[in-house]
Chains A and B, each alone.
Chain A
């Protein structure tokens, strides 16, 4: 099946710094990528939807200036957590789809654990 990678898998940073997380579709072109945030013992919360070449669509309550999303190519989307604070510590997961409906076409990355000190 289609493979989605994320880098880094874990990152620890100091409060106030920015962190970039990459999401790559390795063997297919992803017209749409999704970014989720997963809290301990809670479900995945959709943060934003990004389409290649256009601005991301953020879910209600997600600060777009805080979580910058760039989908510059059909195989790469990046999430930058700007001026990170300890409350931003979480597990971030991306998914990618080839487009068209059919959730089995949405493939998930392994996630990135962000810890802000």
Chain B
């Protein structure tokens, strides 16, 4: 069965530091992969997606993610975080026309 694993429930980084959020997936075929961000009081916002092609994907707000088939991973990165990046981040994989979400990683930013 398709699944998405985000091994880190909470991540704390200092403002200006680099960030990497981990995501591993289990999927029989070539997956469609996504990262979403959820801020309090706001809906889920798509940061970036991977369908095919270049395995390094650029997204909004300075985020990028790299698809590594050999590791079944799709980790999210940002070179320098801002206090406004504090939020819940969800990795997701598609199944037919539906999305399966990971359990999320809560990102905390230290001033």
A binds B: yes
Chain A interface residues toward B at CB < 8 A: 4, 9, 32, 34, 41-44, 46, 49, 93, 95, 101, 103-104, 106-111
Q: CB < 8 Å: which of A34, A44, A49, A109 contacts B90?
A: A44
Residue among A32, A101, A103, A104 with the most chain B CB within 10 A? A103
A108 to B88, CA, bound (A): 15
B73 vs chain A, min Cβ distance (A): 17
Q: Can you list 23 A-B pairs with a CB-CB distance of less than 8 A?
A: A9-B41, A34-B98, A41-B104, A42-B103, A42-B104, A43-B4, A43-B102, A43-B103, A46-B98, A46-B99, A49-B97, A93-B43, A93-B44, A95-B43, A101-B97, A103-B34, A103-B49, A103-B99, A108-B36, A108-B43, A108-B45, A110-B42, A110-B43
Given the complex, which residues of A lie within 8 Å of B41, measured CB to CB? 9, 110
